[in-house]
Homo-oligomer: A and B are copies of this chain.
Amino acid sequence: MTNIKDLAKMAGVSVTTVSRVLNNHPYVREDKRNAVLEAINRSNYQPNINAVHLSTGKSFLVGVVVPYIDHPYFALLIKGMASEALENNYKLVLFQTNYLETREIEALQMLKQKQIDALIICSRKCSWSTIEAYLLYGPIILCEDTRGKRVSSTFVDHYKSFMIALEHLYQKGHRKIGYCIGRKSGTNSRQRELAFKDFVENYHLPYEPAYIFEHCTHFEDGEQVIERIQQMSNPPSALLVTSDEVAAGIVTCAQNRNISIPGDLALLGFNNQPIAKMMNITTIEIPLVDIGRKLFLQGINISKEAAYQEIPVTLIERETV
């Protein structure tokens, strides 16, 4: 098979010149460029793009770390990144981690090995110090509040949005409020927990750990929430549900069991996914596709300074509160 050295010999130029022509480098003398192009034609040379990437130091690949691919929250972030990648002639390399740290480190290793040009971490298990150790190898972008750290981010202030949601429920007369969440660890979840604690303290409400429902990620997880509530002697009257998908599952399960929403149980979802609109779920709108776009652009527009983009959220009132 013809390689880059053969081409150089055929064209009577150096290997560097061939590489520059293959990369559309501007500083190549016209006669040399033509000689290389002619050699390519004569030899039926097929460039191995990894050779090109080796010489340019760019892969035009951006890595994306998500715990699950089959969840609308992450799917919508990826959708935004994918459309911006397309616009900018990049491709996405997907790391589905299931929140295993080893898989996150594999992604970081790919950045170190220059197989990807940037890494976007949508949600993580690994510690901050792990990420810090890879910062010198390329841009790492996070979807969480990184203010004060040397990492760019596009994020929602989950403390603030949780507080908006909690105060809305309070104003509607609710005093027994709980919430459903995917996992308790993680930066965003801890911000939400903090908001919840501050809220009950500010309003002199009891802090009731049983009102916090973990492992609420998918539609079908709504069932266990209803089951646990039905077993409580003093159940919550309202729930924040950090995914509309789960809120929809709770609504569906409640209908099957003749539990009135919002009469018996008020629900306030998050994200404003299409399912929330269709099922008339009151929700906090988080523009996930747009956040995905912004995360991607931070990954490819290299800047020395870390940039922090906070994305505002909006309460959308419908029929479940």
Please give the residue numbers on chain A whose beta carbons come within 8 Å of chain B beta carbons, in ascending order.
22, 24, 46-54, 57, 59, 61, 68-72, 75-76, 78-79, 82-83, 86, 91-96, 103, 106, 110, 112-115, 218-220, 222-223, 249, 252-253, 255, 274-275, 277-279
Contacts and interface: CB of A to CB of B under 8 A. Distances in A.
A27 to B, nearest CB: 18
A247 B213 CA distance: 28
Contacts of A275: 219-220
A93 B47 CA distance: 19
A70 B79 CA distance: 7
A49 B114 contact: yes
A276 B61 CA distance: 36
A79 B50 contact: no
B91 A91 contact: no
- How many copies make up the complex? 2
Contacts of A94: 78, 82, 91-94
A91 B95 contact: yes
Given A92-B94, A94-B82, A113 B274 contact: no
Contacts of A53: 50, 115
A119 B162 CA distance: 43
Contact residues of A: prevailing secondary structure:
helix
Contacts of A82: 69, 94, 96
B61 A54 contact: no
Contacts of A114: 48-50
A71 B86 CA distance: 19
Contacts of A96: 78-79, 82-83, 86
A248 to B, nearest CB: 8
Residue with the greatest number of chain B CB neighbours at <10 A, chosen from A72, A252, A278: A278
A59 B134 CA distance: 22
Given A91-B110, A223-B278, A253-B278, A78 B69 contact: yes
A219 B273 CA distance: 10
B274 A218 contact: yes
A75 B86 contact: no
Nearest to A137: B46
A135 to B, nearest CB: 14
A72 B274 CA distance: 14
Nearest to A277: B220
B61 A50 contact: no
Contacts of A52: 113
A277 B113 CA distance: 44
Given A96-B82, A253-B278, A115 B69 contact: no
25 contacts: A24-B106, A48-B113, A49-B110, A49-B115, A52-B113, A53-B115, A61-B93, A69-B75, A69-B82, A70-B78, A78-B96, A86-B103, A91-B94, A92-B93, A93-B93, A94-B94, A218-B274, A220-B274, A220-B275, A220-B277, A220-B278, A223-B278, A252-B279, A253-B278, A255-B255
